[in-house]
Each structure stands twice: as structure tokens, then as C-alpha cells.
Amino acid sequence: MASREDMGSWLEGGTSGHQGPSAAARLGLPESGPGSPAPVGRRLVALVVDWAVATLIAYLVTSPGSFAELNPMVTLGVFALENVLLVSTAGFTIGHRLLRLQVRALGGPAGTAVGFARGAVRTLLLCLVIPAVVWGPDGRGLHDRGAGTVIVRR
């Protein structure tokens, strides 16, 4: 029978004394280059770009007079709309595109959109924030795990 020490915590990425397959290998992705898992830094920069774009659009649409008066829920709504539409149809948001990243269905072919259902689930979980900041051993947030998606390099 396997013990907790044998299995390790999913948050720790497995046991410390055993070098199993890499996260990329477990996902069936190449270790580097196009199609490999996207690094965390690039994913975070893409998120900041997308939030900035959503804030600017929300400001222009509502024109409250100053950013201080801007309702954060309007920005969140624009951010969600941007994510669900672009990820579902194109496979990337504006931030992903600028940083050469792509969202694709796990096990799906490169260059194909994830579809509306996966895009909507991923966006809903991303907007809840907590699923996006809890990562598994494969480097994917719970929003990607729940939607069956992965962010890769283009």
C-alpha cells in the first residue's frame, strides 16, 4: 500500500527523492520550444496585459471621468468577455498573443481553438481568482485543470 510520503503532495509536485517524468512529459508536451508548457513569468505578464486592456476598454466605454471612479466589476466583465471570446475562438488573448502563448485543449492539436465550453469554464474559474493561483504539479492552475486546457508556447 502506498503511503502519503510515497505519493507526495500534489502541491509539492511529487516526492522529493524520486525524479519522475517532467510536467511536460506527463502532459504529453515537448520539454522546450513550440508546444511546450509556457513559463509562469510569461503567463503572468500576459495576464497583466489583458487586465490593462480590459481596464482601458472599461474606462472608454463607461467614461467615468477618472480611473478612480471606474467600477472594478465593469473591468472584470470586460476581462471575462475578452477571455471567453478570444480563447474560445482564437486560442489566445491579447496578452497571450503578444507573449507568443496559446491556450489549447490538453491532448488537442496545436493551432486549434479550445471551443466555447472549455473557454467559458476556464474564464469563469479564472475570474474567481482562487483556482488560478492554486497550481498542480504540472504547473497548470485549477482553472486550466478544470477546463482541460494548457497554456503552451507558440
Q: In which domain, by residue range, is 136 found?
A: 28-153
- Residue 129 burial (C-beta neighbours within 10 Å; 0-12, 13-18, 19+): exposed
52 lies in some domain = yes
**For the chain, what is the domain count?**
1
16 lies in some domain = no
What is the Cα–Cα distance from 84 to 12, expressed in whole angstroms?
Answer: 30
What is the Cα–Cα distance from 86 to 98, expressed in whole angstroms?
Answer: 13
68 lies in some domain = yes
CB-based contacts of 44, cutoff 8 Å, min separation 6: none
pLDDT tens for the chain, 154 residues long, are 444 444 444 444 444 444 667 777 777 777 778 878 888 899 999 999 999 999 999 888 887 676 667 788 999 999 999 999 999 999 999 999 999 999 989 877 766 779 999 999 999 999 998 878 888 888 888 899 899 998 898 8
Beta bridge mates, 37: 152
